[in-house]
Amino acid sequence: KQEVTQIPAALSVPEGENLVLNCSFTDSAIYNLQWFRQDPGKGLTSLLLIQSSQREQTSGRLNASLDKSSGRSTLYIAASQPGDSATYLCAVKGVDYKLSFGAGTTVTVRA
Amino acid sequence: SAVISQKPSRDICQRGTSLTIQCQVDSQVTMMFWYRQQPGQSLTLIATANQGSEATYESGFVIDKFPISRPNLTFSTLTVSNMSPEDSSIYLCSVRPSTDTQYFGPGTRLTVL
Residue B78 CA to residue B110 CA, distance in Å, equals: 13
Chain B residues within an 8 Å CB radius of A33: none
CA distance B88 to chain A (A): 13
Asked whether the predicted pLDDT for residue A81 surpasses 80, the reply is yes
Average pLDDT value for residue range A35-59: 92
Out of A44, A97, A103, the one facing B41 most closely (by C-beta) is A103
* pLDDT tens-digit series, residues B24-70: 999 999 889 999 999 888 899 999 998 878 899 999 999 999 999 99
The helix (run of H) or strand (run of E) holding residue B106 is none
CB A91 to CB B41 under 8 A? no
The total of other beta-carbon atoms located within 10 Å of residue B3's CB is: 11
Question: How far does the CA of residue B58 sit from the closest CA of chain A (Å)?
Answer: 11
What letter represents residue B44's amino acid?
Answer: T
Query: Measuring CA to CA, how many Å separate A27 from each of A81, A104, B10, B30?
Result: 34, 18, 36, 27
Q: Is B47 on the interface with A (CB under 8 A)?
A: no
Mean pLDDT of the A35-53 span:
91
Q: Which of A49, A98, A102 sits opposite B100 (nearest CB)?
A: A49
Higher-pLDDT residue of B102 and A60 is A60
